């Protein structure tokens, strides 16, 4: 019972990252916000890894480049796109677009790792993509065809691309390293790479001028959105398996939309509701065991 509660809370925490991100981007640059988030997360993850492994596990020379790629995709690129996108796009809308991550992971895993796709999974991919198009175009396909989609949506789609790359590279890395160790080292690499552009952006100069809400939001992103979220999610995978645990991701856009409505006053449009329903249905079918091939 506790594992299900943790997974539900994880989805709630991840939904909350979109609201925290919207607060942060009001005053903090994207590189600075991303660096501070993962500086906090890296310290805590290193402590957790040390406690779990009784030391910091060594890795071979052949794992150096994949770990760097993990940090550059899932931490560096994802979070720069995340904060740039949230400056231009509502939190609820962004969360629905990003909810397509499992769909594209499944599609590309089939291509690169020869994982089989059943017709149900293929149907789920199509439905989810249609839902994303509805959300991105705000219910008007003509906006996409006429180039009316803004940079905010493009940045959020960049989040999807970078997270898919992170997940596929992680699939290779985790053949040798545990999920916690992989996340920890990729977080450290990403934070280190973010420090230089964050410094040019004014991180050191503005450090003492961030508001209390900025620090609360950054701390939330680092602690709840990254450390607790990842640890509890991987505990869920270990306890009930990746398919069942993955279904809880469906609650992320729902919690983000509800929280954005309550805390930011963001409107809930018909196209957002329809798109959310389609995306959640598509993600569910994509991760469903029904009709799975072997």
User: pLDDT digit string (tens) for 166-199?
Assistant: 988 888 888 888 888 988 999 999 999 999 999 9
pLDDT number for residue 143: 58
Q: Which two tokens stand for residue 208?
A: 């003492």
Cα 178 from Cα 41, distance rounded (Å): 17
Sign of CA dihedral 289, 239, 68, 80: positive
Is the predicted pLDDT of residue 74 greater than 80, yes or no? yes
d(CA 250, CA 230): 16
Q: 138: which 2 tokens?
A: 């705000």
In this predicted structure, the answer to whether residue 231 has a pLDDT above a threshold of 90 is: no
What pLDDT score does 147 carry?
53
Distance CA 43, CA 245 (A): 26
Dist CA 58 CA 84 (whole Å): 35
Q: Is the separation of the CB atoms in 15 and 253 below 8 Å?
A: yes
For the cut 80, the answer to whether the pLDDT of residue 243 exceeds it is no
Helix (H, G, I), strand (E, B) or coil at 267: coil
Q: Where are the domains of the chain?
A: 2-286
On the question of pLDDT at 260 being above 90, the answer is yes
Structure-block tokens of residue 292 = 């799975």
Tell me how crowded residue 239 is: count the other CB atoms within 10 A of its CB: 14
Residues 6+ away with beta carbon under 8 Å from 4: 240
How far is Cα 223 from Cα 229, in angstroms, rounded to an integer? 8
Query: Which three-class secondary structure state does DSSP give residue 202?
Result: coil
**Do 283 and 124 form a contact (C-beta atoms < 8 A)?**
yes
% pLDDT > 90, the chain: 47
| 291 band by pLDDT with thresholds 50, 70 and 90 | very low
**Is this model's pTM higher than 0.75 or not?**
yes
8 Å CB contact between 109 and 115? yes
Half-sphere exposure of 270 (CA within 13 A, CB side): 2
Residue-level pLDDT at 142: 59
Determine which of 123-137, 182-196, 216-230, 262-276 has the lowest per-residue pLDDT on average: 123-137
Q: How far apart are CA 266 and CA 260, in angstroms?
A: 6
Give the residue, 126 or 30, on which the prediction is more confident: 30
For a pLDDT cut of 70, what percent of the chain falls above it? Answer: 92
């Amino acid at each position: 019972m506790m594992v299900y509660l943790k997974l539900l809370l994880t989805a709630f925490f991840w939904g909350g990252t979109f609201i925290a991100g919207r607060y942060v981007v009001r005053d903090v640059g994207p590189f600075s916000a991303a660096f501070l988030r993962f500086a906090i997360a890296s310290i805590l993850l290193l402590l957790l890894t040390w406690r779990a492994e009784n030391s910091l596990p060594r890795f071979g020379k052949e794992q150096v480049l994949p770990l760097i790629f993990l940090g550059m995709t899932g931490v560096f690129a994802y979070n720069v796109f995340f904060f740039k996108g949230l400056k231009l796009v509502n939190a609820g809308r962004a969360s629905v677009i990003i909810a397509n991550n499992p769909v594209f992971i499944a599609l590309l895993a089939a291509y690169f790792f020869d994982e089989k796709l059943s017709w149900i999974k293929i149907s789920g991919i199509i439905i989810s993509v249609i839902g994303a198009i509805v959300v991105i175009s705000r219910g008007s396909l003509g906006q996409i065809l006429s180039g009316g989609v803004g940079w905010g949506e493009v940045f959020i789609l960049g989040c999807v691309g970078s997270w898919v790359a992170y997940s596929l590279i992680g699939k290779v890395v985790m053949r040798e390293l545990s999920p916690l160790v992989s996340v920890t080292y990729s977080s450290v690499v990403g934070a280190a790479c973010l420090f230089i552009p964050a410094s040019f952006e004014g991180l050191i100069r503005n450090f003492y001028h961030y508001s209390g809400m900025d620090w609360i939001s950054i701390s939330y992103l680092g602690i709840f959105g990254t450390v607790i979220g990842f640890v509890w999610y991987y505990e869920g995978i270990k306890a009930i398996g990746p398919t069942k645990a993955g279904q809880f991701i469906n609650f992320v856009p729902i919690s983000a939309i509800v929280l954005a409505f309550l805390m930011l006053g963001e409107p809930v449009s018909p196209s957002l509701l329809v798109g959310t329903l389609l995306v959640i249905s598509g993600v569910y079918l994509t991760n469903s065991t029904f009709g799975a091939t072997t």
